[in-house]
Amino acid sequence: MDPEDLQRLVTQTMPYGKFKGRVLADLPGNYLAWFAREGFPQGQLGRLLALMHEIDHNNLRSLLEPLRKR
């Protein structure tokens, strides 16, 4: 895992869909689980969504809070 990906989770926004414009770290768990079932998009976005799904699934969202303050 690239440490910069963690920072991207709290700064990059969802580019399309129901949650367009929402920061990736703020996406609901059920939306991330849907991607996990249906397939993540290709490229960096897919990698970040998969990472966020793992963080959410393991109840580790609080680890991202210090990064929001940067």
Structural domain for 20, as ranges? 3-65
| Contacts of residue 58, Cβ cutoff 8 Å, sequence gap at least 6 | none
Our count of domains for the chain comes to 1
pLDDT value of residue 70: 66
Q: How far apart are CA 61 and CA 19, in angstroms?
A: 18
Identify whether 12 is part of a domain.
yes
Identify whether 56 is part of a domain.
yes
Identify whether 38 is part of a domain.
yes
Identify whether 70 is part of a domain.
no
Identify whether 27 is part of a domain.
yes
Q: For the segment 4-50, what is each residue's pLDDT rounded down to a tens digit?
A: 999 999 999 999 999 999 999 999 999 999 999 999 999 999 999 99
